[in-house]
Structure 1
Amino acid sequence: MSTGNLLTDHPELYEERFPDPDRLAARWAEDTLRRHGAGPRVLDVGCGTGRDAAWLHHHAGRRVTGIDTAETMLAHARRAHPGPDYHRGDMRDFDLGVTFDAVICLDSALLYCHTNDDLTAFLDRCRAHLTPGGLLIAEMRNGAFFLGNTELLDGPRTASFDWRGTTHTSHTTLWIDHGAQLLCRRRTWTADDGTPSPDRQEQHSAWRLLFPQELRYFLTTAGFEVLDLYDRPGPRTEPAWCEGNSPSGTTSSDRLHLVARFVDGH
């Protein structure tokens, strides 16, 4: 069995597996940017295939820059979702030499900061790239949800879909590394295209499980004022989400939504 990330290596397959025709995450981000009066320059950290960055650029009139660590994703973004400036960069040490009115991190991108040092380094990079009063906007898995909830951990989950005449099946197992405070994932892929030996890849990844008060502490220490921290509504918590919904202020669902303003120039 080979090791790899089938979805990262094949961005078209990623977009087929996780379709988002209404660009709900981008619309939520734009609604949040407008609500808090953000300027037009936006940095999308962990931009992936570029779908959200391009929507913000073309439909919301933002001047968007996207960074990601996967060159395959960036090549796809430049080809399939042109408009924004795309750069390869690590969220812990990127240096673009320009400032922005907002930094956005969608679909748990912030949680790839697995350690306290990682998160501190990322917030330092945000400070260096934000204008005074600039916003940090993120949506992510909610660490508090897993206190007493095991519904996402109860056994492997299997999903199949067709892409270009091939049926791809994923077998996904999630578990918590309590000491490291990580939600770990093992995903095995099989592709049945009629050949004698189906392709198999095993992917390992993890997200930091941040708790709301812990996140507040890191942000305050880094010179940010937390404006909003809530579980819903958001692009992955409300199937019929639309602009204008007000945050509920609770933190009991699987997703956590963050809005913070950079107020300290230290």
Structure 2
Amino acid sequence: MTASRERQTVGRAATRNLLTDNPELYEARFPDPERLAGRWAEDCLRRHGAGARVLDMGCGTGRDAARLHGAGRTVTGADLSGAMLAHARVHHPGPAYVRADLHGFDLGRAVFDAVVCLDSSLLYCHTGDQLDGFLASCRHALVPGGLLVAEMRNGAYFLGRTDLLDTPTVDGFTWRGTAYRSTTTLTVDRTAQLLRRVRVWTSDDGAPPLEQCSAWRLLFPLELRHVLAAHGFEVLELHDGPGPRTEPPWREGQLPGTTTDADRLHLVARLTAPR
């Protein structure tokens, strides 16, 4: 998933985005050596009989798109970040890669059997209009009976729970001889219905601290069902696990759960209305 919707400041002056500007660093920070996200998406597509043409919306560095391509699908990866797309074309070849905005996209006459939207990319639709724009675009891009497969944070998890909010999370790793350290703080903006993230990067190469801010829409399961139905989608699966980012993670052959209580949501929906 791309980091292209983050706002960045260094000493409060907007400059660059550490992860988007350095896709290899992004992959080092968020490794997926087993390609669990792509394999999980392929499992959903296969179980529900999706055709071969897949649009990976918010494809980021292209790892998941390439995994779906390797499974025999004809894949288009779409993202806003030019750096991410350039990296994907070189390091994860096979899919076609295009620049597009998930708030509303038009890929011309291209039609797809499925739209995949992983790692909370869908939650960068912060407003009702943006979410409507995404789903209307999906409806236009999909064949009748096409699938929407998504994986994201679960807004309902934050009803009365503060364990992910109480203490900043500190992570560190080394990339190309430089040690990086990130301190991440999550807060709930109830008025905007957003989960806001502030991540401060430091490194041992003498660079000044870099602050990056982003946010995800806090979508609740019943709310998600309602807006999908309004756009002509029938929910086939909506559950909290197992999935590629749950503990324990999803494994081949595991069936979807039946609850929506944990901190991730996994969605499979079918377009039942005409395009």
Tell me if both proteins adopt one fold, taking TM over 0.5 as the criterion.
Answer: yes
Shift of 1:240: 4.5
Counterpart selection for 1:34 from 18, 38, 46: 46
Counterpart selection for 1:187 from 196, 199, 203: 199
Deviates more, 1:47-56 or 1:241-250: 241-250
Counterpart selection for 2:221 from 212, 228, 243: 212
Letter in 1 for 2:85: L
Partner of 1:189: helix, strand, or coil? strand
Partner of 1:94: helix, strand, or coil? coil
Counterpart selection for 2:259 from 250, 260, 266: 250
Partner of 1:179: helix, strand, or coil? coil
Letter in 2 for 1:25: A
| CA distance in 1: counterparts of 2:242 and 2:229, whole angstroms | 24
Deviations 1:173-231 (A, max 9, x none): 110100110000011111112xxx43321111000010000000000000000111000
Letter in 1 for 2:98: H
Partner of 1:265: helix, strand, or coil? coil
Shift of 1:109: 0.5
Structure 1: gaps (5+ residues): none
Q: How does 1:136-215 map to 2 (within 5 A)?
A: 136-193=148-205, 197-215=206-224
Shift of 1:52: 0.5
Letter in 2 for 1:40: A
Q: 2:242·2:249 contact (CA, 8 Å) conserved in 1?
A: no
Shift of 1:241: 2.1
TM-score, normalised by the number of residues in structure 2: 0.93
Is 1:89 aligned to 2:100, yes or no? yes
Could you say what the CA RMSD is over the residues aligned between the two structures, in angstroms?
Answer: 1.0
Structure 2: gaps (5+ residues): 1-10
Shift of 1:119: 0.3
Letter in 1 for 2:30: F
Shift of 1:155: 2.2
Shift of 1:149: 1.2
| CA distance in 2: counterparts of 1:214 and 1:257, whole angstroms | 14
Q: Which runs of 4+ in 1 moved over 4 A?
A: none
Percent of paired sites with the same residue: 66
Partner of 1:117: helix, strand, or coil? helix
Shift of 1:8: 1.1
Partner of 2:209: helix, strand, or coil? strand
Is 1:78 aligned to 2:89, yes or no? yes
